Chains A and B, each alone.
Chain A
Amino acid sequence: MVLEDNDSELLEKHNIFVTTLEKLWNWGRSHSFWPLSYGCNCCPIEMMASGANRFDIARYGYEVFRASPRQADLLLVAGPISLKMKPVVERLYAQMPEPKWVLAMGNCAISGGPFKDGYSILPGVDSILEVDVYVPGCPPRPEALFYGLLELKKKVEKL
């Protein structure tokens, strides 16, 4: 039996919500990403500042930075990926359980940034992983990072 829209509205007036399990899980996931505490160079400092009390990432529910990739579901790639770091990032991503998402923070993670013509930086993290959201900036302000996280939230809710 499929509910029509006005049937759902009628039920909601009596505090009865009808949904799919998938929508329920996505609502939970999108409101509480657990980022992995990973970062190289300048961008993670702005990530730290966004976790501090002025910008406060906790009001969105994303303050639980986990040190182990086994417990995280969001890989916030902050900063450039050097040749030595490439196998490390691939391994971290492989160790994260599904479902997982990748957010590329900063110009270096998006395309290599100001170091693009160097010999030791990958031209963006999307050369090795599939990226869900790109947040440009050098470094992006905490507000820009929040905008990126909210875009990811919209994306996950629609999954």
Chain B
Amino acid sequence: MLSSETYTINIGPQHPSVHGGLHVEAIMDGELVKDAIVHLGYDHRSMEKIAENRTYAQFVPYTSRLDYLASQLPTMAYCQTVEKMLHLEVPERAEYIRVIMAELSRIASHLIYVGSLANDLAGVTGLIYCLRDRERIMDMFEMTGGQRMLSSYIRIGGVADDLPDEFFPAVRSFLNDLPQMLAEYEGLITGNEILQARTKGIGILSAEDAIKYGVTGSNLRASGIAYDIRKAEPYGIYDRFDFEVPLGKTGDCWDRTEVRMQEIVQSAAIISQALILLPEGEIKAKVPRVIKPEKGTEVYHHIESSKGELGFYIVSDGGEKPYRVHVRAPSFINMMVLPLISRGYKLQDLIVNLASLDPVLGESDR
């Protein structure tokens, strides 16, 4: 009688839709995916070992290279971890500037998310619109930190320099134009019925599975769990801001997209509040010339990055270089559920699932 066999399709490591260097081995039964084996490590840059050979201050630029799409968020996480180890208090003005930069990074990351989702579904125009609007954020980073994408503007103890005068009109006009930009994306990308048909009901991640597998961030909130570290364990001055945490219902790709679009609106609200409350004052605390936390100090500090829970675990041996630095990378752990949410779906749904988990390979492989 007729019998069927499974066959393997290799996606990546060079592929326009895999967000970097990722190899997914899809084991197919006809058109349906039976299993997906994920091979990582194509972007592994030995960051944790390099951290043991750099001083605490020298490692700051490396942190932006972790999650390069929201580059100020990992830098903030690392600097806050080191500040905890040194029992350092950051001045008020610097805290507000950090919040503004962090939320701008989050918006930039979510813009890339929705653009690359459109790109992966062959709607390249969507990517061009999102990159156009992201350029305004890149200009703001260049004004303040000197570099477009990977500006190490946030430093241990505060920020590198005060905000220039031209920053304020730039950020205000960006916030004013944001509703119109979001309406454009609604019309072109998220309101498109083909995109909705390809994301609704696809890649459903249940709330129970999400917690079991350690999924965090917008992926967890799309499955209905209201866990946002900015609300659950506020770090810095996030307890002073009034914002909502958008939630999804079913945990499919559409919910993950909708949650991120609404998070852009909430981030804009936080930036507006920070601009109003921004006090005068110092922008950097008095940091010792050579940073040497006490021997035996170990701190695990985590923040709500645009990808999920980003944590730094640093151990000090009293020297000027850290003894051990470990990065809890949200993208590494979020990608664990890719086989789970793709089994039984078609191959094209695997691509949409991968895009909706929003992985950044630089952070996942470190």
Contacts and interface: CB of A to CB of B under 8 A. Distances in A.
B65 interface: yes
Contacts of B45: 41, 80, 82, 115, 118, 120-121
A118 B43 contact: no
Contacts of A45: 68-69, 112, 149
24 contacts: A38-B14, A40-B21, A40-B361, A41-B362, A42-B149, A45-B69, A45-B112, A46-B148, A49-B134, A52-B127, A53-B132, A54-B131, A69-B14, A79-B43, A82-B44, A85-B13, A88-B13, A88-B14, A114-B50, A114-B65, A118-B47, A118-B50, A120-B46, A139-B150
A42 B127 contact: no
Interface residues of A, number: 36
B227 interface: no
A36 B16 CA distance: 10
B362 A42 contact: yes
A65 B14 CA distance: 13
A40 B16 CA distance: 11
Number of chain B interface residues as a range:
35 or more
Nearest to B22: A40
Contacts of B150: 42, 138-139
Given A67-B15, A82-B42, A41 B65 contact: yes
A49 B61 contact: no
Given A41-B43, A67-B16, A52 B131 contact: yes
Interface string B43-78: 111110110010000000110010011000000000
Nearest to B58: A114
Interface string A16-60: 000000000000000000001111111011101100111000000
A84 interface: yes
B46 A118 contact: yes
A117 interface: yes
B30 interface: no
A115 B46 contact: yes
A118 B49 contact: yes
A80 B362 CA distance: 11
A154 B219 CA distance: 48
Contacts of A138: 150
Interface in B287-309: none
Contacts of A65: 16
Chain B CB within 10 A, most for which of A42, A44, A115, A119: A42
Interface in B118-160: 127-128, 131-132, 134-135, 138, 148-150
A40 B42 contact: yes
